[in-house]
Amino acid sequence: MKKLIITDLELKGKKVLVRVDFNVPMKEGVITNDNRIVQALPTIKYVVDNGGKAILFSHLGRVKTEEDKAKNSLAPVAKRLEELLGKKVVFVPVTRGKELEDAINNMQNGDVVMFENTRFEDINGKKESGNDPELGKYWASLGDVFVNDAFGTAHRAHASNSGISANIKQTAAGFLMKKEVEFIGGAVDNPKHPFVAILGGSKVSDKIGVIENLLVKADKVLIGGGMAYTFYKAQGLEIGKSICEDDKVELAKELLKKANGKIVLPVDNVVAKEFNNDSPSMVVPANAIPADYMGLDCGPATIELFKKELKGAKTVVWNGPVGVFEMPNFAKGTKAVCELLANLEGAITIIGGGDSASAAISMGYESKFTHISTGGGASLEYLEGKVLPGVAAITDK
């Protein structure tokens, strides 16, 4: 990585601002998945173990009104972090002012302070999300150095990432940020070939940029999920009641032309009459979807075809489930993709966040991939080949 990383910094006795991504799912004040907290531990521990004063902050959810504050407080996250870290975390329930500054001034080397949700600053004029220059400057003034470990928000220029970087001498990547940039950036910029991409999910429109970029970079692009039916329509196939974006059919035609054989579509589908787990289903070839049925999963012949295409691959990037994996009867294709990738020898396998990441984790394949990104939107933009402002703002080596 050509950027500063946390191990390049002198941390002893320094006030170390650490932007983490603690945007965890919560239900009635209870954290339902603490993966993002767990993923941030190596960076936090490194600061502590090297005698730095760790000042942590993150956004959580969207905060538009005073009422949004209560359900988006980071207090429960600080508590969970304390348990995971096995160390006192001083939680400061504000985002600026004397209480925060006093807490920081009272820190000893190795102490951890965490302040309230950065998006509380959005209530009076989107100061955090709008990258208000005064706010970035103020937060930067609270520390000596800045470690950005929040890949999940790196695709946005906010006060708590780019804003601080613009006002502090050194910004370094934390360990999680480094891992994300090395794996996703590495796959897109410098992949080991054969490089195969698997793209699924509901809509073509969400992934146009990704398909276009990967058609250039990858050797094959396997397409499944709801978006396959827009491509079917572009080929003149009957798709019945399957999900389709009619205004993207022309684009799909162009992509197929440009792809010159690189795009591989499902050859069979699991179809049902209703969008419902209990709707009776059957497997039909691509050219035989009945008019009153919809495609909800890839069929077994498609999985065999994907297996053939993946054979010998050295890099695989996967984004988007290949079926309606939330319904057990239509989750088989997505599970089979997990299985194929888990058994692929000698390949770097990367899941680009979002629904395919939650599918792989919930199906028990978490440890079977080389890397599962923590950032949905950020990894998609990275796969599109875009520069992520939060990454660009990290100091060059």
353 lies in the binding site for ligand AMP (CB under 6 A): no
Active-site hit among 3, 14, 19, 36: 36
Contact assessment for residue 333 and residue 268, using Cβ atoms and an 8 Å cutoff: no
Active-site hit among 80, 96, 137, 203: 203
Q: Which is nearer to ligand AMP, 191 or 323 (CB)?
A: 323
Residue 97 annotated to the active site: no
Q: Which stretches of 106-248 are DSSP H helices?
A: 133-141, 164-165, 175-180, 186-189, 208-217, 228-234
Min dist. Cβ of residue 297 to ligand AMP (A):
7
268 lies in the binding site for ligand AMP (CB under 6 A): no
299 lies in the binding site for ligand AMP (CB under 6 A): no
- What gap in Å lies between CA 348 and CA 371, rounded to an integer? 8
Interface segment toward ligand AMP; rule CB under 6 A; list 8-16, 37-45, 161-169, 315-323: 315-323
Active-site hit among 61, 186, 377, 385: 377
Q: Which is nearer to ligand AMP, 114 or 243 (CB)?
A: 243
Active-site hit among 299, 354, 376, 390: 354
Residue 203 annotated to the active site: yes
Instruction: Provide the residue type at 33 as one letter.
Output: N
243 lies in the binding site for ligand AMP (CB under 6 A): yes
- What gap in Å lies between CA 54 and CA 6, rounded to an integer? 12
201 lies in the binding site for ligand AMP (CB under 6 A): yes
203 lies in the binding site for ligand AMP (CB under 6 A): yes
Min dist. Cβ of residue 220 to ligand AMP (A):
19
Q: Which is nearer to ligand AMP, 225 or 390 (CB)?
A: 225
Q: Where are the beta strands (DSSP E) in the chain?
A: 15-19, 26-27, 30-31, 53-57, 89-92, 112-115, 145-148, 171-173, 195-199, 220-223, 263-264, 268-272, 281-285, 294-298, 315-319, 348-351, 371-372
Contact assessment for residue 41 and residue 77, using Cβ atoms and an 8 Å cutoff: no
Which residues are CB-contacts of 213 (< 8 A; sequence separation ≥ 6)?
188, 383, 384, 385
Q: Which is nearer to ligand AMP, 19 or 241 (CB)?
A: 241
Task: Compute how many residues bind ligand AMP; rule: CB under 6 A.
Answer: 18
Min dist. Cβ of residue 382 to ligand AMP (A):
15
Contact assessment for residue 164 and residue 131, using Cβ atoms and an 8 Å cutoff: no
What 3-state DSSP class applies to 120?
A: helix
Q: Which is nearer to ligand AMP, 299 or 320 (CB)?
A: 320
Residue 377 annotated to the active site: yes
Nearest to 36 by CA among 198, 222, 176, 185: 176
CA distances from 274 to 62, 184, 238, 295, 296 (A): 34, 37, 17, 10, 9
Out of 266, 323, 375, 389, name the contact with ligand AMP by CB under 6 A. 323
List the catalytic residues: 36, 203, 354, 377
Q: Which residues bind ligand AMP (CB under 6 A)?
A: 200-203, 206, 225-226, 243, 295-296, 320-321, 323-326, 354-355
